[in-house]
């Protein structure tokens, strides 16, 4: 029996979707490499092999992650065949597998890609497979929603905050508690420079990583992605541009990835670095005392930073008898104590308040990340869906133009808005 979703996929899925996805990988915790065969042989709901694809090739068979996958399979009475891909490679593999009618039973996918796969008819909805998402944080769940439907369960989230070097701030006479908004942050950077140290480093590279790092400042100004050239949006570009002009941030940010930006901070010369939860382990090894604060909004609130992280979804299958076991696998991976294991292993903030409380109880310093995630939002939220990458690319181009001095912030964002409007019509 074929479901309505199968017919929808046949009508919607095209190779053109591949071109949409090239800009979307930015913040998964995955490394490179990986690979493997496609879905296991279909043997219905009674036993057999069920395939799971994930973007975590850095975890081998001895890892807690793979042990959890195998445990969930055993609880469901099936064998799990796990294949790991690089994040961008996984997206392309998922689209091609759907075209060939060979999708995995469970797909763990970077959250900005969910709306694209959903629109292409690749994924089933949580309603279709009776996945309970009632306990999930609405702002995290929104990244996996399109046209009022939800296409998976968030496995956890990472996001951005400001790391700071305690010794650098102390020598500059800066109390980090005074950093509440853009004005007080800029004043702190001025003091740090006057004391002979460096201010702040971040990634403004002309890729999705640059947009990912710019968004807290853009959203923190009150701007919306549908109006890049608003006064608020221009003020965010002007903030970064002024920091470069005054020497509070290095010119290297134009080419910095999040990794090279972190390497600059790790030298011990910088007061602040914008980076994510995935650098906590590196911070512990940096050799100096550090702290973390949420990224401040323009007027003193916590800026909404973009959410990274993945959704656990169930792709469309011709054999609908497989869905009940797939549902058990997804529920196992995202519920209760398993959610704590998963998010701890992946360095993510849990998507439910209950598990967030457990994380903070184990590590009180983790509270700042919980606060940042509660204020965060998905890049494809606000019903942007597949329009997001068509907006993001001109936005990061505008930031590059302004920081390099080839355009004023106003002109850069005006040109970006025109390009985005044309691309999303």
How far, CA to CA in Å, does 198 sit from each of 240, 297, 322? 15, 22, 57
Give the Cα separation of 219 and 258 in Å (integer).
19
Number of other residues whose CB lies within 10 A of the CB of residue 365:
10
Inform me whether the pLDDT recorded for 280 exceeds 50: yes
Q: Which two tokens stand for residue 396?
A: 């990061």
207 CB contacts (<8 Å, ≥6 apart)? Answer: 23, 26, 257, 396
Domain with CATH 3.40.190.10 in the chain: 4-158+308-375, 160-305+384-423
Q: Is 331 helix (H, G, I), strand (E, B) or coil?
A: helix
Of the chain, the percentage scoring pLDDT greater than 70 comes to: 89
Residue 40 pLDDT: 40
For residue 192, the tally of other CB atoms under 10 A from its CB is 26
- pLDDT at residue 7, rounded to an integer: 39
CA 135 – CA 202 distance, rounded (Å): 34
Query: Rounded distance, CA 62 to CA 423, Å?
Result: 46
Spatial distance between the Cα atoms of 400 and 402, rounded to a whole number of angstroms: 6
pLDDT the model gives residue 365: 83
**pLDDT reading at 25 higher than 60:** no
Count of CB atoms situated within 10 Å of the CB of 284: 9
List the one residue out of 153, 174, 89, 200 whose CA is nearest residue 329.
Answer: 153
Give per-residue pLDDT as tens, 350-369. 999 999 999 999 988 889 99
> Which CATH architecture is the domain 4-158+308-375 placed in?
3-Layer(aba) Sandwich (3.40)
CA angle 233, 403, 414 (to 5 degrees): 40
The chain-wide mean pLDDT, for the chain, equals 89
> Strand, coil or helix: what is 166?
helix
pLDDT digits (tens, 9 = 90+) for 114-137: 988 999 999 999 999 999 999 999
The pLDDT, as a whole number, for residue 383 is 84
pLDDT band at 342 (very low <50, low <70, confident <90, very high): confident
pLDDT in the model for residue 175 = 98
Q: What pLDDT is stored for residue 11 in this prediction?
A: 38
Q: What are the residues facing 154 on neighbouring strands?
A: 311
How much of the chain, in percent, has pLDDT values that exceed 90? 79
Q: Which two tokens stand for residue 321?
A: 């008898």
| DSSP letters for 115-164 | HHHHHTT-B--TTTTT---TTS-HHHHGGGEETTEE-SEE--BB-EEEEE
Does the pLDDT value for residue 3 go beyond 50?
Answer: no
Q: What is the mean pLDDT of residues 224-251?
A: 98
Question: Pick from 314, 123, 306: which is nearest to 213 by CA?
Answer: 306
pLDDT band at 28 (very low <50, low <70, confident <90, very high): very low
Asked if the model's pLDDT at residue 22 lies above 80, the reply is: no
Structure confidence at residue 106 (pLDDT): 98
For 42, 81, 94, 255, 292, the CA distances from 277, given in Å and listed in that order, are: 38, 29, 27, 21, 10
Residue 86 pLDDT class (50, 70, 90 cuts): confident
Contact in structure between 95 and 67 (CB atoms under 8 Å): no
What does the alpha-carbon distance between residue 32 and residue 52 come to, in Å, rounded to a whole number? 18
290-293 sheet: strands from edge to edge: 198-201, 270-276, 160-165, 290-293
The predicted structure's pLDDT at residue 35: 35
Does the pLDDT value for residue 161 go beyond 60?
A: yes
CATH of domain 160-305+384-423: 3.40.190.10
Question: Distance between CA atoms of 336 and 231, rounded to whole angstroms?
Answer: 44
58-62, 103-107, 237-241: least confidently modelled range: 58-62
Closest CA to 396 of 23, 62, 7: 23
Residues 31-81: pLDDT tens digits? 333 333 333 444 444 579 999 999 999 899 999 999 999 999 999 999 999
Q: Phi/psi of residue 99, each to 5°?
A: -60, -35
Confirm if 271 and 168 have CB atoms less than 8 A apart: yes
């Amino acid at each position: 029996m074929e479901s309505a979703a199968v017919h929808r996929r046949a009508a919607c899925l095209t190779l053109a979707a591949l071109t949409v996805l090239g800009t979307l990988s930015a913040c998964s915790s995955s490394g490179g490499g990986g690979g493997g065969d496609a879905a296991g042989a279909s043997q219905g709901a009674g036993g057999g092999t069920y395939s799971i694809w994930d973007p975590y090739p850095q975890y081998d068979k001895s890892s807690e992650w793979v042990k959890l996958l195998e445990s969930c399979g055993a609880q469901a009475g099936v064998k799990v065949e796990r294949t790991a891909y690089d994040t961008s490679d996984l997206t392309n593999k998922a689209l091609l597998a759907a075209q060939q009618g060979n999708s995995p039973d469970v797909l763990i996918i970077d959250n900005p890609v969910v709306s694209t796969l959903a629109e292409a008819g690749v994924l089933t909805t949580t309603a279709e497979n009776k996945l309970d998402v009632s306990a999930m944080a609405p702002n995290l769940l929104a990244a996996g929603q399109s046209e009022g439907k939800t296409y998976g369960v968030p496995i956890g989230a990472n996001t951005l905050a400001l790391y700071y070097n305690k010794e650098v701030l102390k020598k500059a006479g800066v109390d980090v508690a005074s950093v509440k908004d853009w004005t007080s942050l800029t004043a702190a950077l001025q003091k740090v420079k006057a004391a002979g140290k460096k201010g702040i480093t971040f990634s403004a590279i002309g890729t999705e990583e640059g947009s990912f790092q710019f968004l807290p400042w853009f959203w923190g100004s009150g701007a919306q992605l549908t109006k890049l050239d608003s006064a608020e949006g221009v003020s965010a570009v002007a903030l970064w541009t002024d920091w470069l002009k005054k020497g509070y941030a290095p010119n290297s940010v134009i080419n910095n990835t999040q990794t090279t930006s972190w390497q600059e901070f790790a030298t011990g010369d910088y007061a602040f670095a914008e980076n994510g939860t995935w650098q906590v382990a590196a911070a512990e090894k940096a050799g100096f005392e550090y702290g973390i604060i949420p990224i401040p909004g323009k007027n003193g609130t916590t800026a909404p930073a973009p959410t990274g992280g993945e959704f656990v979804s169930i792709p469309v299958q011709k054999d609908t008898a497989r869905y009940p076991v797939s549902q058990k696998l997804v529920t196992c991976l995202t519920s209760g104590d398993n959610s704590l294991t998963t998010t701890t292993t992946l360095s993510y903030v849990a998507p439910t308040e209950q598990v967030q409380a457990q994380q903070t109880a184990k590590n009180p310093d983790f509270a700042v990340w919980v606060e940042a995630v509660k204020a965060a939002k998905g890049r494809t939220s606000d019903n942007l869906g597949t329009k997001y990458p068509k907006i993001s690319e001109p936005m990061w181009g505008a930031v590059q133009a302004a920081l390099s001095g080839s355009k004023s912030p106003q002109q850069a964002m005006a040109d970006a808005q025109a390009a985005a409007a044309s691309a999303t019509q």
